[in-house]
C-alpha cells in the first residue's frame, strides 16, 4: 500500500466511524482549555477534569491567576503530576496574559509558546481545538500510532519530525480532527502495551499488524486486502 493510499484509507475509515472526535478535557472557553492542557502534561485527562472545576470556579480569568500566589493556588493542583512546576506555570501564564495579551488567549502558535508552561504541543492543541487551525499536536499516542500504522518514517525520532510528516500528508481540512482520531485510537485501541489488534478497524492498513500478526491473514491475502 502506498503511503498516499494509507492516509486516504485512514481518513475514510475515521470519517465514517468517528465523524465527531474531540478532546476529552472539559472546558468552556479558550482560557479554560489552556489551563487544562497545561495541567494535562504527563497526566491523564480524567485526573485533570477532576481538578479543573474548582480552579475554573475560583480563578475564572487570567486576572484571577495573576492576582494569586503559590500558596493559594497549589492546593488546587497538588493531586496532579508535577504540581510545583504547574502551579508556577499557571501563575506566570496568568500574569503574562494580562500584561502582554490584554487578558486574551493568543491565537497563534508563535505567541502561545511564549507563555510559561506552553510548548509547541500545547500551542498546537489550543489552536486546533479552539480555532480549527491545521496544526498537529504530537503527544505519546500520536507518536506511537503514526509509527505503528506506517504513516511516518520509522526513523522519525522526535515529535516535530512526526508532526511535519503528518502535516505534509493529511489534507488541511482534516488535520484538526485527525489529531483526535490518532489520540483516541492510541488511548483506547492501539495502546502502548498489548495493542488491541483483533478489535482494530484499521489493522488492514497497519504495518505493525502486518509484521506481528501476518499469520492471521488468509494465504491469498495481502495486508492491503485483508478486511477487519
- Break the chain down into helix, strand, coil percent, rounded to 5: 60, 0, 40
Cα gap 118→105, rounded to integer Å: 12
**Residues at the annotated binding site?**
190, 197, 200, 206
At 215 the pLDDT is 55
At 227 the pLDDT is 31
Place of cell 502486518: 210
Give me the CATH code for the 3-21+136-216 domain, please.
1.10.1670.10
DSSP sequence for 169-225: HS-HHHHHHHHHHHHHHHHHTS-SSS--GGG-TTGGG-HHHHHH-GGGS-TT--TTT
**Residues at the annotated binding site for [4Fe-4S] cluster?**
190, 197, 200, 206
Dihedral sign of CA atoms 127, 22, 144, 78 in order: positive
The CA distances from residue 17 to 102, 123, 173, in Å, are 41, 28, 18
Specify the DSSP element, H or E, that contains 47: helix 45-58
Question: Which CATH architecture is the domain 30-131 placed in?
Answer: Orthogonal Bundle (1.10)
Among candidate residues 46, 71, 78, 139, the one labeled active-site is: 139
Q: Is 168 a catalytic residue?
A: no
* pLDDT by position in tens, the chain (length 228): 788 999 999 999 999 999 999 999 999 999 999 999 999 999 999 999 999 999 999 999 999 999 999 999 999 999 999 999 999 999 999 999 999 999 999 999 999 999 999 999 999 999 999 999 999 999 999 999 999 999 999 889 999 999 999 999 999 999 999 999 999 999 999 999 999 999 999 999 999 999 887 655 443 333 333 332
Cα gap 189→120, rounded to integer Å: 26
Q: Helix 172-188 vs helix 159-169: angle between axes, to the nearest 10 degrees?
A: 130
Q: Is 121 a catalytic residue?
A: yes
Every domain of the chain and the residues it spans: 3-21+136-216, 30-131
Residue 29 DSSP symbol: S
At 213 the pLDDT is 75
Cα gap 107→172, rounded to integer Å: 17
Total-model pTM: 0.88
At 154 the pLDDT is 87
Among candidate residues 88, 121, 196, 221, the one labeled active-site is: 121
Amino acid at each position: 500500500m502506498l503511503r498516499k493510499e494509507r492516509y486516504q484509507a485512514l481518513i475514510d475509515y475515521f470519517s465514517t466511524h468517528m465523524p465527531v472526535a474531540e478532546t476529552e478535557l472539559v472546558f468552556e472557553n479558550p482560557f479554560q482549555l489552556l489551563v487544562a492542557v497545561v495541567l494535562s502534561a504527563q497526566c491523564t485527562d480524567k485526573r485533570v477534569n477532576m481538578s479543573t472545576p474548582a480552579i475554573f470556579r475560583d480563578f475564572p480569568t487570567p486576572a484571577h491567576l495573576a492576582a494569586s500566589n503559590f500558596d493559594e493556588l497549589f492546593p488546587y493542583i497538588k493531586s496532579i503530576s508535577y504540581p510545583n512546576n504547574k502551579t508556577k506555570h499557571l501563575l506566570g501564564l496568568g500574569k503574562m496574559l494580562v500584561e502582554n495579551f490584554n487578558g486574551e488567549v493568543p491565537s497563534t502558535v508563535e505567541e502561545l509558546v511564549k507563555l510559561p508552561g506552553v510548548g509547541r504541543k500545547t500551542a498546537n492543541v489550543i489552536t486546533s481545538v479552539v480555532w480549527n487551525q491545521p496544526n498537529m499536536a504530537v503527544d505519546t499516542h500520536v507518536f506511537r500510532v503514526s509509527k505503528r500504522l506506517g504513516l511516518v518514517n520509522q526513523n522519525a525520532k522526535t515529535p516535530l519530525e512526526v508532526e511535519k510528516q503528518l502535516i505534509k500528508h493529511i489534507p488541511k481540512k482534516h488535520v484538526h480532527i485527525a489529531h483526535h482520531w490518532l489520540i483516541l485510537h492510541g488511548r483506547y485501541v492501539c495502546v502502548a502495551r498489548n495493542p488491541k489488534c483483533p478489535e482494530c478497524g484499521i489493522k488492514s492498513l497497519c504495518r505493525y499488524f502486518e509484521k506481528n500478526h501476518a499469520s492471521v491473514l488468509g494465504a491469498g491475502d495481502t495486508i492491503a486486502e485483508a478486511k477487519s
